Amino acid sequence: MSFELDRDDMIGHRLKGVYLNFQPGNGSNYHLTLVNDEHGGILVIWPTVATYRYYAGDYLKFLHGNKNEVDRLAIFDYLEEYLWNIHIVMIVAAEEKKIRKLKRIIVLFVFVGV
């Protein structure tokens, strides 16, 4: 079972659960599940292989399973790019919402004659 990424959850900085499947070009295929960690960061679960704790912009900490530095770096690099792109999309969406609201206010002022 996997969860869909809900835009409202990302805006509120809550991540219910996200399933990722990617191939970074190093010959590996990663099937990951991301969930919030109550101790901070995001738990990165790679079923039957390893579990990590991800700190955005900082580090992917190995917690248990098969320790492999190549896989850790590939997952960290992908998460940095993936979550950064989501962050940019959310910023653009928020700015567009502000612009629409500002346009409504301007139209209201023009209509009222201020």
Per-residue pLDDT tens, the chain, 114 aa: give them. 344 555 555 545 555 678 888 888 878 889 998 888 877 788 899 998 999 998 888 889 999 999 999 999 999 988 888 777 665 555 556 666 766 676 666 555 555 554
Q: Starting from the edge strand earliest in sequence, which strands make up the sheet with 50-55, in order? A: 18-22, 30-36, 42-46, 50-55, 59-65
Model pLDDT, residue 113: 53
The DSSP letter of residue 4 is P
Model pLDDT, residue 3: 45
Domain annotation covers residue 61: yes
Domain annotation covers residue 75: yes
User: 62 exposed, middle or buried (CB, 10 Å; 0-12, 13-18, 19+)?
Assistant: middle
Tell me how many domains the chain contains.
1
Domain annotation covers residue 1: no
Domain annotation covers residue 2: no
CA end-to-end span of the chain: 55
Model pLDDT, residue 64: 93
**Domain interval for residue 16:** 7-112
Residue 74 zone, left/alpha/beta (φ > 0; ψ -120 to 50; rest): alpha
Model pLDDT, residue 103: 64
Instruction: Give 106-113's long-range contacts (Cβ < 8 A, gap of 24+).
Output: none
